[in-house]
A and B are shown apart, each in its own frame.
Chain A
Amino acid sequence: MLLSSVILVLREVLEAALLFSLLMALSRRLTISCRWVFLSLGIGLLGAAIYGFNIDIVSEQFEGVGQELINAFLQIAIYLALSVIAGLSLAHRQGRKAPPLLITVLMTLCVALAIVREGSEIMIYLSGFLAVENLRIPVLAGCAIGAAIGVSVGAVFYFLLLNLETGTARMAGAVLLLLVAAGMASQATLLLIQADWLPAQYPLWDSTWLVSEQSVTGQLLYALVGYEATPTALQVGAYVGSMLLLGAIAWCMSEIVRRRAQMPAHGGAG
């Protein structure tokens, strides 16, 4: 029980922690205060508890696929927020003042939604097994260890990103943001296929021989960039398409910021 608790919690925490670290590093680069992390943690944990405790009601909706639809919605919302963040930080890097409040709100939203998505499963797990008396200690200990490892990996990732040379960091940050966002879109697609809202398909390829999803590398790649060993054509399409869309959204956002910056400045950043 201890080991399975560690693995379960680690897998969930890792996804949220890596997104958390990426956005924290980005907000440091943009010299935006990192105080938003506390707010997003609070909102995220509260949301995870509410979602987790109502999962039975959610699951029954839409002929039993409510869970998939809500989760897909959460992933798409994170994707869209990341796209706008990408655009605003692009504008910022081009020397135009991007509204820091908007970036902060979007980052808070992203991390909070990721915590709702991943944290709700931990809440469900805890609520189910804490009630069983002889499992209480191993489950709690396992969760604590899993969470600690997940947060540590996130911290290592954060400091890695911060310690890169400015040029490399920009490139790495942009590429990672793009891949993380595409991973969200591809996971949302998979959930909609599971719910039968998108047509079922054969996998396009099987790269298990190269990186197994069950290996440590596979798990890390899944958590970070949504790696799948056997994706369907729809998922691959969503992955590539969402990257192109993110590029388009980011470009539009940076244009909007540029035009606003060219107007006589009297409103400030809003």
Chain B
Amino acid sequence: MHRCLKMLPLLSLMWSCGGLAAAPVFEIEIRDHLFFPSEFTVPADQKVKLIVYNRDSTPEEFESYELNREKVIMGGAKSVIFIGPLKPGIYPFFGEFNPKTAQGRVIAE
């Protein structure tokens, strides 16, 4: 029992290192209610860390039914969203506050 307890910090360290190593980072921007780039390719079958910079003064909500994600990003702020692992395919996302213009897609391959 004690040995198990001693293993706990080590296990949690391995867990977090594994998580860090496994998540490549992708950055996108929101400008004038548009995503830049509006289309980008991420590796399939692994977790990806998405950093979204909102360069507009107005807030935006990153939303995707296909990715099952939803997050408010205030004007001038940045936000972290973890996505995946994704099977190869195309995953649309949009800005819920400006859905007519703010459209994009993640391609997993």
Q: Which residues on A are within 8 Å of B, measured CB to CB?
A: 4, 7-8, 55-56, 59-60, 63-65, 67-68, 121, 124-125, 127-129, 131-132, 190, 193-196, 200-203, 212-214, 228-230
Contact = CB atoms under 8 A, between A and B. Distances in A.
A124 B72 contact: yes
Interface string B54-84: 0000110100011011011111011111101
Contacts of B38: none
A131 B58 CA distance: 9
B3 interface: no
Contacts of A124: 59, 72, 74
Contacts of B80: 63-65
Contacts, number: 73
Contacts of A132: 58
B19 A196 contact: yes
Chain B binding site: helix, strand, loop or mixed by DSSP? loop
B10 to A, nearest CB: 18
Given A4-B100, A128-B97, A67 B71 contact: yes
A128 B85 contact: no
A213 B58 contact: no
Contacts of A60: 77
B97 A129 contact: yes
B20 to A, nearest CB: 10
B69 A8 contact: no
Nearest to A230: B68
Contacts of B75: 128
A186 to B, nearest CB: 11
Contact of A59 (B58, B79, B98): B79
A75 to B, nearest CB: 13
Interface of B: 19, 23, 47, 49, 51, 58-59, 61, 65-66, 68-69, 71-75, 77-82, 84-85, 87, 96-100
Contacts of A121: 61, 72
Given A67-B71, A196-B19, A202-B87, A129 B58 contact: yes
A228 B74 CA distance: 26
B12 to A, nearest CB: 12
A128 B87 contact: no
Contacts of A131: 58
A64 to B, nearest CB: 4
B65 A59 contact: no
B100 A55 contact: no
A150 to B, nearest CB: 16
Nearest to A195: B82
Contacts of B74: 55-56, 59, 124
B71 A194 contact: yes
**Nearest 10 CB-CB pairs, A to B?**
A64-B80, A128-B58, A128-B59, A200-B47, A56-B74, A196-B82, A213-B65, A124-B59, A4-B99, A56-B77
